[in-house]
C-alpha cells in the first residue's frame, strides 16, 4: 500500500535545486511501480512550476515504459508468444491506459459477424470471401493511403477506431479474427508489404490458438495454400505473384518471403514502422524508447523491413 502523504512529500522535493536529491527521489518513486502512476497524475494537476510538472511527466513516462519493457520481456520468454497479447503490449507503449478486454471484445464482435456466415463444408476460398465481406464491407476496414506514415496506423485500438491502417496492422487484426475462428491464416514477412498466408495444414483445423502459436514459434508451419493482401481488401494471390514482386524490388529471393513468420518478427516489424513514423515527425525520444523495445525482441533482423520503405 502506497503512503500518499509520503508520496506527496517526495513529489514536493522534485522541485529541489540539488540534482542529487532529485535523482534519489526519482529513483524511489520509480521503484514503487505502475501503481503510483494515477497518484502522480493527480499531483501533476496541482499548481506546480513548469520544471516541476516536467519532472512529473518524465517520471510517469519512465514508469510506464519500464512496465512495458517488463511485460514485453515476459512475453518474449513465454512459450506461446500470443500475437494479441504482444500487440497490446506494444500499443501500451504510447497508450498506457488502453483497455485490453474492450479491444478483445471488439475483435470478438468481428469474429461473431463472420462466424454467423460460416458453414462446416466451406472451402478455404469461400471462408476468405466471407472474412473479406465482414472485414472490409460490413466493418469498413481499409488501407490508409491518405496518411500512410501516421503512427496511429500501427496501434491496434486506433486501427479499430479509424477503420484503417498499414499493411501489417490490418494483417494482424485480420489474422487474429481468422485464428479465433479456427482458420489457419498467418503473417508473412514480405519486404515492404506485409501479407498473409492461408496454410494447407489440415492438422491445424482442430488445434487451439496456443498450440498454433507453439507450432509457429518452432517454424513447423510451411505448407501454404495461397496468400492474402490485407491492405488491398483481402485480395487472394499466388507464390508466382510474390516472385514477380521480389523481382520488381530487385532483391534476392529468400525462403522467409513465402513462409509464415513468428510473432516476434511481426512485433519487430511493427516497431520498425513506428520508428519510421516518429523519425519523420522528428520525435527522437520515442525513437530511442522504441530501440529499447527492439532490443528486448532480439535486435534488428537484416532480412526484415518496415512497410514504409516503399
Q: What is the mean pLDDT of residues 193-219?
A: 72
DSSP-assigned letter for residue 135 = I
Based on the fold, state whether residues 38 and 90 are members of the same structural domain: no
φ/ψ (deg, to 5) at 11: -60, -40
310: in domain? no
228 pLDDT band, cuts 50/70/90, is very high
Can you give the pTM of this predicted structure? 0.85
Q: Are residues 241 and 127 in the same domain?
A: yes
- Same structural domain, 104 and 135: yes
Neighbours of 158 (CB within 10 A): 19
Asked if residue 54 and residue 173 are part of one domain, the reply reads no
**Please, which residues have CB within 8 angstroms of residue 51's CB and are 6 or more apart in sequence?**
15
Same domain, 202 and 129: yes
Domain membership of residue 305 (yes or no) is no
Pair 114, 154 in one domain = yes
Q: 272 is written with which cell numbers?
A: 520498425
Mean pLDDT for the chain overall: 87
Calculate mean pLDDT across residues 14-26: 79
Separation in Å, CA 189 to CA 84, 119, 157, 213, 252: 17, 31, 22, 16, 14
DSSP class of residue 155? S
pLDDT tens, residue by residue, 134-180: 999 999 999 999 998 999 999 999 999 999 999 999 999 999 999 99
Q: Which of 163, 112, 111 is nearest to 137 (CA)?
A: 163
In a shared domain, residues 22 and 161: no
pLDDT at 282 over 50: yes
Whether 307 maps to a domain, the answer reads no
One domain for residues 99 and 209: yes
Q: In this predicted model, which residue has the larger pLDDT, 213 or 256?
A: 256
Q: Is residue 303 in a domain?
A: no
From 77, 104, 120, give the residue that closes a domain. 77
Shared domain check, 138 and 257: yes
173-187 pLDDT per residue, tens? 999 999 999 899 999
| End-to-end Cα, the chain, rounded Å | 51
pLDDT band at 105 (very low <50, low <70, confident <90, very high): very high
Q: In the block, which residue shows the cell 483445423?
A: 205
C-alpha span between 95 and 144 (Å, rounded): 20
Q: What is the pLDDT of residue 244?
A: 94
C-beta separation of 186 from 221 below 8 A: yes
Residues 190 and 227: their CA atoms lie apart, in Å, by 11
The residue from 77, 102, 132 where one domain ends is: 77
Please tell me the distance from the alpha carbon of residue 231 to that of residue 170, in angstroms, as a whole number: 7
In a domain, 32, yes or no: yes
What's the number of domains the chain is made of? 2
Domain membership flag for residue 306? no
The Cα 100–Cα 92 span in angstroms is: 9
Q: Which of 32, 30, 57 is nearest to 43 (CA)?
A: 57
**Would you say how long the chain is, in residues?**
310
Cβ neighbours of residue 27 closer than 8 Å, sequence gap 6 or more:
none
The answer to whether 271 touches 293, Cβ cutoff 8 Å, is yes
Q: Where are the beta strands (DSSP E) in the chain?
A: 142-143, 164-165, 185-188, 195-199, 224-229, 235-237
Q: Does a structural domain hold residue 309?
A: no
pLDDT at 187: 95
**Residues 267 and 160 reside in one and the same domain:** yes
pLDDT of residue 204: 60
pLDDT of residue 205: 56
Q: At what angle do helices 4-13 and 37-44 cross, to 10 degrees?
A: 50
Helix, strand, or coil (residue 4): helix
Q: Give the whole-angstrom CA distance, residue 305 versus residue 55.
A: 36
Q: Is 48 found in the same domain as 94?
A: no
Task: Please check whether residue 17 lies inside any domain of the structure.
Answer: yes
**Given a cut of 50, is residue 302 above it in pLDDT?**
no
Provide the domain limits for residue 253. Answer: 83-296
What was the pLDDT predicted at 59? 83
Which one of 14, 43, 77 terminates a domain? 77
Q: Residues near 168 by Cβ (< 8 Å), separated by ≥ 6?
A: 154, 187, 194, 266, 269, 270, 273, 307
Residue with cell 470471401: 129
Amino acid at each position: 500500500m502506497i503512503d500518499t502523504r509520503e508520496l506527496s512529500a517526495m513529489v514536493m522535493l522534485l522541485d529541489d535545486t540539488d540534482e542529487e536529491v532529485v535523482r534519489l527521489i526519482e529513483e524511489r518513486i520509480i521503484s514503487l511501480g505502475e501503481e503510483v502512476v494515477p497518484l502522480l497524475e493527480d499531483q501533476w494537476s496541482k499548481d506546480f512550476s513548469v520544471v516541476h510538472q516536467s519532472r512529473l511527466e518524465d517520471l510517469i513516462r519512465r514508469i510506464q515504459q519500464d512496465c512495458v519493457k517488463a511485460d514485453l520481456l515476459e512475453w518474449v520468454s513465454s512459450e506461446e508468444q500470443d500475437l494479441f497479447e504482444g500487440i497490446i503490449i506494444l500499443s501500451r507503449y504510447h497508450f498506457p491506459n488502453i483497455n485490453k478486454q474492450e479491444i478483445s471484445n471488439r475483435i470478438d464482435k468481428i469474429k461473431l459477424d463472420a462466424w454467423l456466415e460460416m458453414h462446416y463444408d466451406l472451402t478455404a476460398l469461400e471462408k476468405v470471401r466471407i472474412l473479406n465481406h465482414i472485414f472490409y464491407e460490413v466493418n469498413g476496414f481499409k488501407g490508409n493511403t491518405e496518411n500512410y506514415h501516421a503512427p496511429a496506423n500501427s496501434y491496434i485500438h486506433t486501427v479499430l477506431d479509424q477503420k484503417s491502417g498499414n499493411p501489417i496492422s490490418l494483417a494482424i487484426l485480420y489474422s487474429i479474427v481468422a485464428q479465433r475462428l479456427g482458420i489457419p491464416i498467418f503473417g508473412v514477412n514480405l519486404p515492404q508489404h506485409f501479407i498473409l498466408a492461408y496454410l494447407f495444414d489440415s492438422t491445424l483445423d482442430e488445434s487451439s490458438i496456443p498450440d498454433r502459436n507453439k507450432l509457429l514459434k518452432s517454424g513447423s508451419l510451411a505448407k501454404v495454400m495461397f496468400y492474402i493482401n490485407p491492405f488491398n481488401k483481402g485480395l487472394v494471390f499466388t507464390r508466382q505473384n510474390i516472385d514477380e514482386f521480389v523481382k520488381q524490388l530487385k532483391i534476392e529471393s529468400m525462403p522467409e518471403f513465402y513462409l509464415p513468420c513468428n510473432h516476434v518478427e511481426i512485433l519487430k516489424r511493427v516497431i520498425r514502422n513506428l520508428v519510421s513514423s516518429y523519425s519523420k515527425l522528428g520525435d527522437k525520444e520515442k525513437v530511442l524508447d522504441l530501440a529499447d523495445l527492439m532490443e528486448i525482441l532480439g535486435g534488428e533482423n537484416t532480412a526484415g523491413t518496415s512497410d514504409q520503405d516503399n
